[in-house]
Each structure stands twice: as structure tokens, then as C-alpha cells.
A and B are shown apart, each in its own frame.
Chain A
């Protein structure tokens, strides 16, 4: 186990090295240097760059003249809120569909669900998001087109998580603002959750089926334990392991997805901020955004790996 942990830490170091080299190259593209370097040699500048990063100086945006790190932190809660909401949607619905399909294995429900999940899995979400907007926002008028909340609610950003901030304004607007924010969240979250939901449903189904076939479940069945109890208590717990493993891939899908979703729905988060920085050649912001997002992905994977090691010491390598 210690060896595994050391290995993880080694990976972490390599990742951070590779990452900072990439972002250092990014920062070098800027017309005006984003940090006041002492040295002229790029090699030494790299170490100065690391020093600046550690000190929390991530540069100043060349367009807005604002601190990149601060900008990132201001945009980040919107992204997290969207991701968390979408993931809750994806996990609950995905698990439910997967379990449902596995219990009706081979039936029409199983087939329908699996076809639907394949459709969801193949969906180009930039098109899917536009279709949803066209149908639900523009034609039916059921959902808002863009933004996080209607402007008749003047919400002071305390946490920048709109759902929390609206609740903190409860004495001013009651639950209206909260519901309004929730209403704004629905369509982007559905768009973002589609692919993970399909993957989770498929994964759940296949790993449940594999577990259900296994020796110990058959023994349990022969002992007369009910099917429901087997699925919920025994099979699901074992099936969660591979689902957890695939979450590492999920985070990268979600991160790519959230950039597109924010673009489509004008959601004021990191993705939109980063794309805008790219189109305006604001390298300080690009560098900072890529760095911060990557650190999050790396950290997420690290936690996941530790979790896997903790849950299953025999697991040497994720499959």
C-alpha cells in the first residue's frame, strides 16, 4: 500500500512538472511577459514562474487587468454548481436506469433503455444543447435561455454559488429567487449530464450483470434471499468498484462538456471565461485557467486512486 501511495505521489510530481511546463509555454506566448522575470534565460524563468505560482501570483489578465487567480476563483463556483447539479442528475438517473435494465435483462425495457443510453452516449452535446434551447426555451418558453437567475432578483454574491446565495437572500425574496436559480440550472445541467448518465447506466448494467452471474450471488440466491435484496445489498456494492474507476474518465468528459455547455448557455463559469480568453489572446488568463482546471482534474484523479487503493488493496492497476 505504501508503495502504491509513493507511486501516486511520483505521478503527481510528473503531472505537475508536465503541466507547469505547458502553462509556462502558454504564458510565454503573451506579448508582454505576465510576470516580471529577473533572468533572460527561459530555463531560469521557468523556476521563477513556479515561484510566482506558489506565491499566488498567477499574472494579470492582459485584457481586464485583473488578477488571473481572482478571476478564476470568481468564475469557478458557477462551474462547480453546474457540474455538481449535473452529476447528481447523471448518477441518480444513470444508476436507476442501469439497475432497472439489469433486472429486466433482455426484455423490451432493457433494450429500450440501452438503445436510449447509446443514443445519449453518441450525442454531440453542442447540438443537443441547442436542440434543447430551441425546443424548451424558444418554442415552448418553459425554461430560460441563458444566465443563472432573472435580474429582478438582486443577489449579492457571498459564496457565488447561486443556489446558496439565493437562500441567503431568503428574507428579501423568499424562495422565489432560489427556485428561479434552479429553473435556470435545469437545461444546462440536463445537457451536461446526458453523456455521463448514459455511461453510468451502461456501466451499472454490465457490472451488475457480471456480479449477478458470480458464484457468491448464486449462492445467496440459492439460500433464498430475495432478488431485490441481492441487488441492493450485495451486487450493487460490488458493482460500484468499476463504476468508481471509470469516474476518472468521467471527470475529463465532464470538464470538456462543461466548456461546451457554458458556451451554449452563456453560463458565466470557467469554460466560457477560458474560451473568451482564447479568442482574445489573453494568455495570462489561458495559462491560469488551464493550470487551475488541470490541477483540479489531477487532484480528483489522485483522490480517486487513493480511494481505490483504500477500498481494494489488491487492485494494482485500474483496468
Chain B
């Protein structure tokens, strides 16, 4: 699941990672969540949109008023929360993957291109990226959604735009650093092409930094998509998106708290496990930071 760069250091990194208790716990939780997201539609007891009109706001089964047919209870429309959470897991993770993938690809491309631009242009581009980076993501998303209207696709564009600068920055600065290294200079003097330089010399050396950035982007993307859903700017009901489920549950916070706690817990656990894994990877790849 975690793609570590294929190099001699990998085994060492893996050893360090494995010794990190927090990271291992995070990895286990994350794997469970991923499995649930993949097989979710098959194991979920009901269609997430199906409404049991006479089973409204049933509490989870550990409550005395619970119903065995609805393990985690039902919402205000009589929809099974477990089924919605499982479908939501797939939806949320799919979205997150898509967003991170698009952002990472475009970011790396822009960053790699920038490394070969002349000084002025590069510094201009980097300034713009810094600017985007320091810009509050939600404010940017609000501006974008205001222009193109609320809805899931538009929210996704917004989150992608917010994530890109991180990748550009890391790629560009790592490549610049690498290009100035002696061994790259030597290869250059030997007449190696830019492309060859990138793929053979530079790329293997910047993958660790990118891997770390990639993991943290997952948690950012997941949180941002959920936040937009929560504010009514992202996924719209009746979609079983976690943030949207949370925002729908606000009306019942006092008398049906499970409709609020469960989707939130799902978001929180996923983000926490990604961050734990991210911390672990960072420590493993960069032993200098290791405690």
C-alpha cells in the first residue's frame, strides 16, 4: 500500500517504520478502512439510499432502544447508517485518491518543468505557488465554488488547486538541489540529456520527500472535501459522503447524537491513521529527524 522507493535504503527504512508503534497501528487501521471501502458495497446490509420509513432515528444496537437489523442505527430518513458509512468510505476515499493523484501529477510536472526554466520565470512561478500555499484553502474553495456553483465536481477542482503548490514546491526545490550536486554535474558533463538526468539521477533522490508529501496530502484532501461537504459547498445530499452526512446530522445533534458522532469518527480515524503512517514514513525516510 505504501510505495517505498526501490533502493538499498528501503529495507532500512522499512525496519525503522516497523519499529514505530504508532505508525504500525495507523497502517493497520488504514488497511482495514481501505478494505472496508473496497468491499463495502458488497458487505453493506442495505442500499445506502433505501428508506425504512417506519424505522426513523433508531439508535445503534448497543443502546437499549437499538434494533438488530440496523447495527449502527438509522438516520432521519430511516436509512441504515452502517450502509451509508461503508458506501461513504468508498466515495470519500475514491475522491481523495483522485484529488491527490491529479494534484500530485500536475504538481510534479509543473515543478519539474520549473526546475529547467530560467531564473526569473522560475522565481515568478515559485512566488505564485507560495502565494497559493499561504492562501487559506477554504477561502479559495469558497471563491471557486462561488464562481462555478456548489457541487461535488467543483469542490474537487478547488481542493486540487489547493494541493498542487505543495508538490510544485517540493519537486522544484529538490530537483534544483539535486541538479547542483557534483554527481549530477559530472553526469551532465558526460553529455547526459535532461530527461535522462531526471529519470536516472534526480528522480530516485526526490521520491522520499514526495512520498511524505503524498501521504500528508491524503489527509488534507480528505479533510477539505469533508469540510466543503459539511458547509454545503461540496457533495450534496443524498450522497453518502461523510462530510455531507455530518452536516445533515446537525439537526439531530441532541436527540440522535449517533448520526453525528459516527461519520465524524470515520473521518477522524481515517485522517489520524494517514497521519500516523505519514509520520512513520517521514521518520523512516529521514533518520535525522528520528527521535
Contacts and interface: CB of A to CB of B under 8 A. Distances in A.
B268 interface: yes
A187 B253 CA distance: 17
B264 A131 contact: yes
Interface in B76-127: 123-124, 127
Interface of B: 22, 123-124, 127-128, 130-131, 133-139, 142-143, 145-147, 150, 219, 223, 226-227, 230-233, 243, 246, 250, 253-254, 257, 260-261, 263-265, 267-268, 271-272, 274-276, 279, 289, 291
B138 A263 contact: no
Contacts of B133: 249, 252
Interface in A234-259: 248-249, 251-253, 255-256, 259
17 contacts: A14-B128, A105-B291, A115-B22, A124-B226, A124-B268, A127-B246, A130-B250, A130-B260, A138-B254, A256-B227, A259-B138, A260-B227, A274-B139, A290-B142, A290-B143, A290-B146, A297-B136
B36 to A, nearest CB: 19
Ranked nearest first, the 8 interchain pairs of A and B with the lowest CB-CB distance are A127-B264, A255-B136, A256-B138, A122-B272, A252-B136, A122-B271, A256-B136, A126-B230
Interface of B (DSSP majority class): helix
A82 to B, nearest CB: 15
Interface string A1-30: 000000100110011001000110110010
Contact of B139 (A11, A127, A209, A256): A256
Given A11-B127, A124-B267, A293 B250 contact: no
Given A124-B226, A251-B134, A294 B139 contact: yes
Given A11-B131, A298-B131, 18 more contacts: A14-B127, A18-B131, A118-B22, A122-B275, A126-B230, A127-B264, A130-B246, A131-B261, A131-B264, A249-B133, A249-B134, A256-B139, A275-B231, A279-B232, A286-B143, A286-B146, A293-B136, A297-B136
Contacts of B232: 279
B253 A130 contact: yes
A10 B226 CA distance: 36
A67 interface: no
Contacts of A126: 226-227, 230-231, 243, 246
A294 B272 CA distance: 30
B23 to A, nearest CB: 11
Contacts of A249: 133-134
Given A275-B231, A279-B232, A133 B139 contact: no
Given A126-B227, A278-B233, A15 B138 contact: no
Nearest to B144: A22
Given A15-B131, A252-B134, A134 B139 contact: no
Interface residues of A, number: 51
Contacts of B137: 252, 256
Contacts of B250: 130
Contacts of A209: 291
Contacts of A290: 139, 142-143, 146
Contacts of A14: 124, 127-128, 131
Contact of A283 (B130, B131, B146, B267): B146
A260 B230 contact: yes
A122 B268 contact: yes
A206 interface: yes
Given A10-B127, A260-B227, A260-B231, A26 B135 contact: no
A278 B142 contact: yes
Contacts of B131: 11, 14-15, 18, 298
A7 B127 CA distance: 9
Residue with the greatest number of chain A CB neighbours at <10 A, chosen from B123, B130, B139, B226: B139
Contacts of B261: 131
A121 interface: yes
Contacts of B263: 127
A119 interface: yes
